[in-house]
Structure formats: C-alpha cells, structure tokens
Structure 1
Amino acid sequence: MRMAAWRRAGGAVLRLLVVWAVSTLTMLVLAGVLPDFRLQSPDGDTATRIAITAALGAGAFGLLGALVWPLLVRALLLVPALVLGLLVFFLNGSLLWLALGLIPEGRGEADPQTAVVVAAAMSAASSAASTFLAVRDDSAYRRRLARLADRRWRRAGRRAVPTAPGTVFLQLDGLGHDVLCDAIRPPADRPDGEPLMPAVAALCRDTHRLTRWHTDWSSQTGASQLAILHGTNEDVPAFRWFEKETGEVMVSNRPSSAAELQRRAVARTGDPGLLAHDGASRGNLFSGGAAQAALVLSVSARRGRHNRSRAGYFAYFSDPANATRTAVSFTAEVVREILQALRSRLRGERPRVSRGGLYPFIRAFATVVERDVVVAAVLGDILSGRTAVYADLVAYDEVAHHSGPRGRDTHQVLRQLDRAVALIAQAAERAPRPYRLVLLSDHGQSPGEPFAARYGLTLEDLVRVGCGLPVSRRARRSATGAEARTTARAALHRPEDGPGAEPHHVTGPGPVVLGSGNLGLVSFPGIPGRASREEIERRHPALLRTLADHPGIGFLLLHSETCGPVVVGADGGEHRLDTGEIVGKDPLAPYGPLAADAVRRTAGFPHVADIMVNSALDPATGSVHAFEEQIGSHGGLGGEQSRAFLLSPLLLSPPEGDGEPVGAEQVHRVLRRWLREAETAPAMTAPFFPDRVPLR
C-alpha cells in the first residue's frame, strides 16, 4: 500500500513536471517569434539563463492560474456570462503580465496585447499536455475522477454513495426522429463508412431502444419540456400567446413567463416535478423541481447559493484552461458562421434567411458556451452521484432554424453533440454509482420557406387586409422563437423589456397577431373572452375566408356558437371536432390521424387564441411555412416537427406497450416510471455503467 501511494505521488509529480516543461518550451518559442515579448535583460543573456527565466515565468503563471484565477472569477459573479467569456483573454493576459513581473531582475517583459496572445497559447499548450497525459494514464484519470467525485459527494453533505442506479436524461433540442435515423446510418455512398453520429449509433445498435413519440399541436420546447418535467402543459397553446384578461403576451422562453408557467404547472399537478428527489436541471427552460439548477430560465432571477441559475457558468470558467478553450472555440464558431452564411449567399441557396447582426454570436453561444457549460455540469452531477439529471443541449435547434434541419451546417453540430454524448457516457462508466443514459428530443423541425418570403407579406399583414385595416409598407422582421436567444439575453443580463425584447403587454383595439413557428395566433382584445366564429364574421366579414383560402394556410381553428370547436379549411371544408362531422374536404387530412385529437385538446385551453392558424403542408416534401424568419421551424402541425424520439436502455421497460407515446404528458409518465424502476433495481456494490459500449 505504501509503495502504491509513493508510486501515485511520483506519477503526479512527473505529470506536473511535464506540463511545466511544455509551458516553458511554449514560452521560449513565443519569445523567439514575438518582437514585443522578451525573457532576457536588455544587455542579453546566455541560453541557459533565458531557459531558467522561462521556467520561472511558466511556473509563476501556472501557480497564479491555480490560486488567483478562481478568486478572480468569484469576484466577477455580477459580470454577465458572455462578457466574462470575452474577458477570459484579458484576465489570462493580466496573470501572465503579473507572472513576468515576479521574475527576478525584470528579465520578463511583454506589452499588454502580446501578453494576451502568450497567455492564451500557454494555457492551450498546458491543457493539451494535461489531457494527453490523462488519456495515456487511464489509472491516473480514474483516480482523479474518483477523488473529484468523493469531494463533490462530501461537499453535498452525503454520508454514503447510493447503490441504486441514477438516470441522466439528455435532451437534444429539436432533433427529430427522422433526422436522427439518418444520422446513425452509414452514408449511402459508403455502406461500410462511419455514420454522422457514431456514438449514438453504437448505443442504438448494442444497448438501447429507439422509439418515436408524437408531440402535441404546440410542437415546441415550452410546451414539451414543461409537460416532460412537470407533468402538464395544459393551457400552453403555443410558444407565445396573448392573455386577454391581463393584456400580457406570454413567451415560453422569457424568464418571467417561464417562472409563471412553472408555477401554474406545479399548482395544477400538486407535484414539484420530475427532478424533485435529488435532481439537477441543466440548460432547461424549467427546473423540474430540482434543487440544483444551472442555466435554467424559470429560476434565472434566483440568488440562492445552490440554485442560482447562472452559477454553472462560473463553476466552469473557474478553470482557466476551460475558459481559454471555450473562448477560442467561441471565436472560431463566430468566424465559421460568417463564412458559412457568405457561402450560402454566394451560391444563391434557397430558402435563405438573414444571418447577420448578433446571430453569429448567438449561434456561438448555443453551440460552444452553453454546450460546454451544460456538459461540464452534467459530468459534475454524475461524479457526485446525483440521482436524476435532465439537461438540454440547444445547439442543433438553433442552427437548424437558420440553416435547415438537414443542412451541411447542422451536420457539424450533430458531430459535436455526438462527442458530447460519448463524453458523458464515458464519465458514467467511472461514476460512484451505476447510471442509465436516456437520450430524447422535445420535437423535430420541418423545412420550408418562411411565409413572408414566399408570399410577400406577413401573417399580420394578411390579417389586417382581411379586417380592412391599413398595412405598413415598412418590412417587419418577426421575432424568432429560438431557445438560445433568450438564454443569451439572460447571460448578458439584458432586461426582458429592453431593446430587441418582445413586448410584455399589448395596448390598442387592433388584432394581436403572433407567430410560433408555422402556428399563428390571432386575438381581438376588444372582444371579451373567446371570440366566436359568428362574432368575427359579423365584425370582419372577409377575414376568415381571406385566411382559410390563402394557399400558404392549411386550416383555422375557431369556436362556433352552434357546433363548438371547428376546423375550417379552403373551399368551405370543415371538421367539427365535437361530433367528428366533416363538411366537404377534411382540412386535417394532410396532417395525419393524430391531428384531430391534438387540435381538439388545444381547443379546450382557456387561453387559446380567437383564431388559431396552421400553415399549409406539402405532403410530398413535408415542408411548411413558418410565420417567423426560419427555414427550419416547429410549433404547429406538419412534417417532421411532430415526430420526436426516445432512446432508452434495453434494461428499462419499453416506453409504451400499446404503441408510440402521444403527447409530452405521456412522456413524463414514462420517465417517472423509469425513475421508479431505478429505485427498485438490484443494488450494485461497484461503479458500473450498464449500457457500456465502445465509445471514442
């Protein structure tokens, strides 16, 4: 035992010396190529003296990084997370400048700009060396993880590691069942080639079961995730909607709205949520009742020590290597998006939406910063032995909105997500308790040209035309429902009612028109309660036919004083939902056999709009027309957006014995059942990952 302890200590010292040597060599190389960076006195020094100076500087820089960097990050808790990411280079450069000042006789010197470059290069080199050594020495890597897990466990005040399995639910936001199936197959032109997502393909092939599930009419994260985590999405008709009694516009990814939706769900079910027992919520709109939350919008205003939503940023950035790596990747992703958008424009690709302004930074936030922070938080939860973890990775959804569900840009994102899945699975193999990894999505995405681009006017313009109201000649861009956009605003501490934010309240008698993917909502504030079909026709005789007969619109949901909820389509076609009676051509026929039940359920919501508008569907291509500026959209019925997936271990019971789950509330019941199965699973006495597959 004593010999083994000495061997471990010797290995640790050796790894430290190797990293120190790599940092020293990096500093020497940089001193030789950068004119404003020197490691010698003005009169010159011998090579040996310069090497000693570099070693002293590298050692001082490493020591300051280990001791001072966490204190700097903690002191900057009030700095917005994205700003902190941009400050990484400055802070790192400041530490290097300070380290050079500690070298005796003033032999180290660099101007501020050069210090930033040198610090970034040295952090990258030392991080690469540490990673290489950890990979080469698997036993050392296991011991490090074990120590970290034990430290996290004791910090959480736990007395013993549970032997029952824990569960990690990893949501790949917006990734539809059909797109996933394509991503886990070998390329068509290379049957023996590697699929786009090899780690997920290995799970599907060896240890997991892939099941499709069908979303509600509102096929978007707000409705799906609220039901998955809290058991109900009652009265969530869309991503955004207007509530007449308060005059407020509810937006699912607005922090105040998310908090209210979560409060309503808890009050309706009487249950705090899926994650109430020793759970963690990472990167979600809602907490699921978890005591540990990071990057969760519904609790983003909290300031408690353990449930502060933004604490995950600082836990991640407290490591200077993490901070530097993410900052470099963030910059590279911004450049990549600018080049990809330019290529799309030069090639004249259609359909295409605007990708300028702040979008490159929002994309980089979703695909780099949020991904890295969420994955790091999940790894920490696994190493601390938490019972249930639910995390959302929004990268694919954000990029697919602007590049299309099957664009070349999204292929790169899918590869990155696959690597994240592999990393989490590998960490679970070394966890202090067994873990079951469940992958799922909250909805898919359907391709198609935006409504305004295809027909030259927005849905609001069309409504105003039907009401005989003037239409503004000034082009208007509709707000996007992408989840990452508001998460980025929260990270930047930008207020909900600041410039660029969506309005909270609506004033004036005119119609309120909102878009939620290819689902539109029209409300009349001047008509108390739900406006009936007959009342709308009396006030605006041309409106309903203008909408129903438009080629870009598939159907309308109205409430009739005589026959209750009714779906109206082109050429006078109707589907009366209470009786099932169909007049003329059924407007719901192109949307599949589940459409009528989904629309009927929404028709009973208290805050359903006076007119619910679903865009047309091309049955041959599955394309729809978003009422937002998106070429990959979700939010209504039509195409792949309504087909999500569950990828669960074979050792768990099948999601549904009677067929594919329908509705997010049913998915919640399935996940509840799996957590109960974990509680009663046979006890294990050693760390064990039951879904072990060879992941790279």
Structure 2
Amino acid sequence: MWAVSTVTMLVLAGVLPDFQLESSNGDSATRIAVTAGVGAAVFGLLSSLVWPLLVRALLLVPALVLGLLVFFLNGSLLLIALRINPSGQGEAAPETAVVVAAVMSAVASATGGALAVRDDDAYRRRLYRLADRRRRRGDGQAWPSTPGAVFLQLDGVGHDVLEEAVAKGLMPTVAQWLEGPGEGGCPTHRLTPWRTDWSSQTGASQLGILHGSNHDVPAFRWYEKDTHEVMVCNRPSSAAELQRRAIEYTGDGGLLTVDGASRGNLFSGGADQLALVLSMAARRGRENRSRSGYFAYFSDPANAVRTAMSFVAEVLREMGQSTWARMKKRRPRVKRGGLYPFVRAFATVVERDVVVAAVIGDMLAGRNAVYADLVAYDEVAHHSGPRGRDAEKVLERLDRSLALVAKVAEHAPRPYRIVVLSDHGQSPGETFLTRYGLSLGNLVRAGCGLPVPRRAQRTHSGTEARAAVRAALRRPVEERGERHRPSRRSEPVVLASGNLGLVSFPDVPHRMSREEIDRRHPALLSTLANHPGVGFVLVRSEEYGGLVLGANGAEVPVDKLDDARPGPLADFGPGAADAVRRTHSFPHVADIMVNSAYDPKEGEVLAFEEQIGSHGGLGGAQARPFLLSPVALSVPVEDDADLVGAEQVHRVLRRWLRECDGPQVPLAAPADERAA
C-alpha cells in the first residue's frame, strides 16, 4: 500500500501543475522518489492516527456536513505531511491538496481491499482485528457459540416484487438462499408473505415489529384533537412519542433489549447500540447517538471519497433517468426535480453504505441481535414506480449488500442467522390529483360547501429518506413547522398517507359521528363515498358503531363485515374487514377515513400524495410484504395459517431469538391479554 501510494503521488505530481515534489532548481529522480515515499508515509500515518481524533472532535457538526469537511480536512493533512517532509521539497496549492488527498485515499482503500480479497487468511485476520477493536472482552470469556440474529429490512419491497426480481436474475444472493448452493443444493432460506394492517407504512409496521404494538397508529400522519397536533411517523418528536406509547402499552422495551443494535430505523427497539435512529434524532448534544453511524463511517477518509463519488454518480443517474422519462412521455409520472435527486442519492448511497458498515461492525463485535432498515428501494419506487427499471437497479445493489453481510458472517466471532424482511410493499398507479384534477383536500372542501382554490395544490409527500436527510443535517423534521391548525377552526384538516386519507374537524373535541357530520355538511359523506376515485369511507355511527360507506348508497356496519360478506371491501382482498375493524377501535382514528379506489385487475390505486408507487392504505401489493428466514429457524406460521399484522411478525422474531439459545428474550403478552 505504501508503494502504491508513493506511485500515486508521483503520477499526480506529473499531471497537476500546482503539485510539486521537487525544488524549483530541479532534483534527481531518486530524490523525487524519496520525497514521494516519505510524503506518502507521513500522510498515511496522519490519516491513521490524527483523523479519528479530528472526527471525534466534530461530533456536534451535522453528519452530512462532516462528509463534506472530510475532503478539506484530508487535504489539510496532506499539506502538513508535505510541510514536515524531511526533504522539504513538497508543495501544493490548497485546492490541489484536496484533490491529491482524495485520490490517494481512494487508491489506498482499493489497494487494501484488493490485497485482502486475494488472501482469505489476510481478510480473516483483518476482520478479527476490527472485531477486537470494537469489543475487547476484558473478562477473558470466549465469544458466544450460540447464533446471533441479523434482521435486514428492505423498505417497501413487496413479496411479488422480490419473487420477480429473483426470477429475472436481479438478486442472485437471494436466489442462492432460496434454491440452495450448487446443483441440487438444499435451500438455506424460506420465503413467506405476510399481511400488513390497514396502515401499510413503515411507521405502523416497524413500530409493531420492533416494539410489539402499533396500537393507535391509524396512518402515516394523523391529527390528534386532544393536543391539536399532527403526528407524523417520520418526525423525530412524533417517533419518540410513538415509541414511548408502545413501551407503555406493552410494558416491554422491545425486540432488541438484550445486547441489540438498531441501525437506520424509525424506532430503537430497545437497543443499547443506536445509529441513525429517528426517534433519537430529537436529542441534542454529545449524548445524541442517533447520528453516530455517520461519524464511525466517515472516520475512514477513504469511505468518504468512495461514497462521495457514488453520490455524485447517483445524482447524475437520476437526472438522466428523469430526463429520459420526460422525453419518452412515460405515464404515470410525478415531478422529480428540486432536491429529489440528492434525496435519492442519500437513500441509495449514503444511508446504504453507512447502515451496512454499522451492521458489519455489529457482527464483528458479536452482538446478539441487529435490526437495520435500508430505504433505497422505497424512495426510488415512490417516484419511478415499484417495477420500473430504476427500482430494479436498486434491487441489484441491495442484493450486493446482502452478499457482503453474508460474507462477513462467515468471519464473525459467532454464527449468525440472517433474516431479510420488508415492512410493506408498494402499489402502482397515478395520483388522485392527476386523474381527477383536484386533491382530496379540495374534494372535501367542495363537499363541505367551502370555496375551492382555482389552482390545485399538490400534497406534500413525506418519505423515510427525506426525514433521514433532515435529521442528518440537524434540521427539525416538521411539515412546514406548524401545529396544523386551520385558518378557521370549523374547517376540516385533511391529511394523506399514500392512498389513505384522513379528515378531522378540529373544533369538535370528540370523534364526530355520521349523524353529526350529516347535520353540519349534508353533502360531504355522499360526495366522498360516490366519487369514482374513492373505494370506501369509514365513519362512526351513533346507531351502528363503525360504518363503512360505499358507492350507490352502500352502508354496512363494520361488525357485519368479514371475508365471506365483504360489502364495499370486496375488491380489497381477505382480511380487509378485520383491518378496518381494528383501526376503527383506535382512540385517535380520524372523523372520516377515506381509502382510494383499487383496480384488482391492474393492481393500481390512486395515491393522495405525489407518488406513483404508494403505500399507506388497502389495495394491492402494498399490503403484502415478505419474510425471508433461514430454514434452521422454525416456520413463521403453520401451512394453513396466514401471517397477519406487524405485531404477529414481532412475536415470530422474538421466538427465533429464543431458538438461537442466546440471552432469553421474553415474549410480550398478546394484544387480547393486554386489553384484559
């Protein structure tokens, strides 16, 4: 590596006019080579010894700002290396030093990786050294021989999308797990679909998976009348409150309470080791560990160089793909300009690299349970479609990340069971606004007899990646910074969560009944239920309790709905009645719950947000995620049973932790027992 760095410095001195390794009077080739060798050695030592101290001193700097500072600090180290070079011949302009340092770091990283890959013993020794650095067992005890568990969440990847990707050869690692290594090999993993709750989005699913309860999470965002606040699952303050409520409701800390690590998630799961966890992002000061994964990752300047180059490439790739989609006039399509190319690059490059590096560190440290969320596919599919070529490319890169984690597991100090799962899928379809020329909010205003703006306003779209970017920049993740109070208290608050809409009347302290709504706005419910873009509406009735309204005057109490008699829910598949009935029981359910129409033949919904791949309500692939588990673990459910709801997935994962014979993680009480 020293030799390669020396050669790199000589080459750069030959091609960059502001970078010199010889005096103005000229030097011999031997002296120039010695100058380069000493400079490369000093720069390497400074990078190894001083760089981690610089990163630690910058813990209060926003994480992504640190990623940019890496280049300037790295260039400063090179200038110091040239200044203290015994030959005294090195010289470089400051801007040139940044370029030289970046190239040398990238070359050194590539060289070290190539040398390690060519020698399995060297690679194994390097991994063990890293593991020893991360956790030195001072008590002299041996590493646990029992398996640990790594749960990798591929955000937004539906069961059917995964099967199609495997069939197309896009995910060879997953294919090998399902088909077995070699000819006639036995599968190492099994693939199981599961069904989400009505709120098919990360906030509800991940809260249920990690903390065993998503009670009273009716959507991605909803209005709470008792506090006059809008809860948003990807807002740090809301995520922290939802986590607190779940822990209070279950009386249990979460899935990861015993030697666990939570990486890139909305919630901690009770883990002690945290990085990029949104519910912790509201904390300030040095004790905030929610962004510690960035600092651990960028403590190696080569990581920053590699990630920065991939980041720029991804921004350019998105711009090219978006331009091509406009030229081809593809439909459906949403706007992909503004900051979106950078948000996408963050999700598909920065977040992926940092989270995977953190997971590898946890495995090398021998942790008992690790849960990590990779949001890359979800972000791209929202704007390019769940089955678009852009999204398929992301699946290919995610598969390579799975392969890397599997490779590291072979060298970890204890065996690991790798479980891959998703929190929801995505359903395609154009937006409600594109199809009908008005938003759900304006349709509600029309039904209430309120003035409708002439110009349709597009609904704000919140995604996990966008919230993670804002948290990394230490900007509050608030939607326009409001407490969401309308200009007039009699006006409704209309919120969107994918193809699920929520209508609340803030001047009424309780959940309004159908009868109260009809007295105030006689045309509103019929306007919504009979609109061709609406599948069904849920309201509270003073006579029947929960009441589902459909087109052509259909009205069915929720207690009388089931799979045999679905009523207005017929198009939404099995389990729809149970999902609606459960949400109706939540304390903070909206006055009116609106689910968009669903086309079973095309599998399409109509998003109330600006997304052509959406999730949040009922209808299609969004409610059908997957669970990919090792065959060494017990089957998730019996053959004739369905895996339904995030809370049941939580119980399955806890059972698997117990089967690993590691530290005993008690099972949380079922929901019906807690209610009793």
TM-score bracket, normalised by the shorter chain, equals over 0.9
Q: 1:148 aligns with which of 110, 130, 136?
A: 130
Aligned to 1:320: 301
Aligned to 1:35: 17
Aligned to 1:550: 531
Give how far 1:128 is off.
0.7
Give the conservation status (yes or no) of the 8 Å contact 2:63–2:473: yes
Give the conservation status (yes or no) of the 8 Å contact 1:293–1:306: no
Aligned to 2:157: 175
Q: 1:503 aligns with which of 471, 474, 482?
A: 482
Give the conservation status (yes or no) of the 8 Å contact 2:563–2:574: no
Residue 80 of structure 2 aligns with an amino acid whose one-letter code is L
Aligned to 1:136: 118
- Where 2:568 maps in the other structure, the secondary structure is coil
- Where 2:425 maps in the other structure, the secondary structure is coil
Give how far 1:478 is off.
1.7
Cα deviation 1:127-175 (Å, max 9, x = unaligned): 1110000001110111121222233231797843212111111100000
Cα deviation 1:248-294 (Å, max 9, x = unaligned): 00000100000000000000000000100111111000001011111
- 1 CA distance for matches of 2:282 and 2:635? 38
- 1 CA distance for matches of 2:54 and 2:305? 15
Give the conservation status (yes or no) of the 8 Å contact 2:195–2:644: yes
Q: Relative to 1, partners in 2 of residues 1:654 and 1:531: Cα closer, same or farther, differing over 3 Å?
A: same
Q: 2:336 aligns with which of 340, 355, 373?
A: 355
Residue 226 of structure 1 aligns with an amino acid whose one-letter code is L
- 2 CA distance for matches of 1:302 and 1:583? 49
- 2 CA distance for matches of 1:156 and 1:638? 54
- 1 CA distance for matches of 2:508 and 2:44? 67
Matched residues, number: 654
Give me the CA root mean square deviation.
Answer: 2.0
Q: 1:244 aligns with which of 209, 212, 225?
A: 225
Residue 173 of structure 2 aligns with an amino acid whose one-letter code is A
Give how far 1:674 is off.
0.5
Aligned to 1:110: 92
Aligned to 1:191: none
Aligned to 1:87: 69
Q: 1:286 aligns with which of 257, 264, 267?
A: 267
Give how far 1:601 is off.
0.5
Give how far 1:304 is off.
8.6
Q: 2:405 aligns with which of 418, 424, 428?
A: 424
- 2 CA distance for matches of 1:133 and 1:511? 64
Cα deviation 1:471-491 (Å, max 9, x = unaligned): 223442322131111111010
What are the residue-to-residue correspondences of 1:263-278 with 2, within 5 Å? 263-278=244-259
Give the conservation status (yes or no) of the 8 Å contact 2:430–2:612: yes
- 2 CA distance for matches of 1:241 and 1:407? 30
Q: Relative to 1, partners in 2 of residues 1:284 and 1:680: Cα closer, same or farther, differing over 3 Å?
A: closer
Which has the higher mean CA deviation after the structures are superposed, 50-59 or 632-641?
50-59
Q: Relative to 1, partners in 2 of residues 1:584 and 1:167: Cα closer, same or farther, differing over 3 Å?
A: closer
Aligned to 1:473: 454
Give how far 1:106 is off.
4.0
Give how far 1:396 is off.
0.6
- Poorly superposed stretches of 4+, deviation over 3 Å: 155-160, 301-307, 580-585
- Where 2:55 maps in the other structure, the secondary structure is helix
Aligned to 1:67: 49
Q: 1:637 aligns with which of 577, 593, 618?
A: 618
Give the conservation status (yes or no) of the 8 Å contact 2:265–2:277: yes
- Where 1:113 maps in the other structure, the secondary structure is helix
Q: Is residue 557 of structure 2 the alignment partner of residue 599 of structure 1?
A: no
Give the conservation status (yes or no) of the 8 Å contact 2:566–2:577: no
- 1 CA distance for matches of 2:282 and 2:662? 37
- 1 CA distance for matches of 2:524 and 2:104? 65
- Where 1:415 maps in the other structure, the secondary structure is helix
TM-score (norm: length of structure 1): 0.91
- 1 CA distance for matches of 2:89 and 2:133? 40
- Where 2:395 maps in the other structure, the secondary structure is helix
Cα deviation 1:22-78 (Å, max 9, x = unaligned): 111111111111222221111122222221221122112111111111111111111
Give how far 1:534 is off.
1.0
Q: 1:166 aligns with which of 148, 152, 170?
A: 148
Q: Relative to 1, partners in 2 of residues 1:271 and 1:582: Cα closer, same or farther, differing over 3 Å?
A: closer
Give the conservation status (yes or no) of the 8 Å contact 2:165–2:171: yes
TM-score (norm: length of structure 2): 0.94
Cα deviation 1:533-588 (Å, max 9, x = unaligned): 11111111111111111111111011111111111111112332113399999210
Residue 520 of structure 2 aligns with an amino acid whose one-letter code is R
Aligned to 1:3: none
Residue 446 of structure 2 aligns with an amino acid whose one-letter code is V
Which has the higher mean CA deviation after the structures are superposed, 508-517 or 581-590?
581-590
Aligned to 1:443: 424
- 1 CA distance for matches of 2:48 and 2:194? 47
- 1 CA distance for matches of 2:463 and 2:94? 38
Residue 590 of structure 1 aligns with an amino acid whose one-letter code is D
- 2 CA distance for matches of 1:30 and 1:158? 48
Residue 162 of structure 2 aligns with an amino acid whose one-letter code is L
Give how far 1:644 is off.
0.5
- 1 CA distance for matches of 2:276 and 2:289? 8
- 2 CA distance for matches of 1:343 and 1:582? 44
Aligned to 2:172: 198
- Where 2:10 maps in the other structure, the secondary structure is helix
Cα deviation 1:473-532 (Å, max 9, x = unaligned): 3442322131111111010011244xx645334243110000000000000112221111
- Where 2:23 maps in the other structure, the secondary structure is coil
Which has the higher mean CA deviation after the structures are superposed, 152-161 or 335-344?
152-161
Give how far 1:448 is off.
0.7
Give the conservation status (yes or no) of the 8 Å contact 2:433–2:458: no
Give the conservation status (yes or no) of the 8 Å contact 1:575–1:583: no
Q: 1:517 aligns with which of 498, 506, 526?
A: 498
Give the conservation status (yes or no) of the 8 Å contact 2:260–2:368: yes
Q: 2:358 aligns with which of 377, 389, 398?
A: 377
- Where 1:472 maps in the other structure, the secondary structure is coil
Q: 2:509 aligns with which of 525, 528, 543?
A: 528
- 2 CA distance for matches of 1:176 and 1:246? 35
- Where 1:515 maps in the other structure, the secondary structure is strand
- 1 CA distance for matches of 2:336 and 2:138? 44
Cα deviation 1:446-477 (Å, max 9, x = unaligned): 01111112211111011001111112234423
- Where 1:629 maps in the other structure, the secondary structure is coil
Q: Relative to 1, partners in 2 of residues 1:680 and 1:93: Cα closer, same or farther, differing over 3 Å?
A: closer
Q: Relative to 1, partners in 2 of residues 1:370 and 1:501: Cα closer, same or farther, differing over 3 Å?
A: farther
Aligned to 1:587: 568
- 2 CA distance for matches of 1:301 and 1:241? 20
Residue 174 of structure 2 aligns with an amino acid whose one-letter code is V
Give the conservation status (yes or no) of the 8 Å contact 2:562–2:577: no
Residue 222 of structure 1 aligns with an amino acid whose one-letter code is G
Aligned to 1:389: 370
- Where 1:154 maps in the other structure, the secondary structure is coil
- Where 2:567 maps in the other structure, the secondary structure is coil
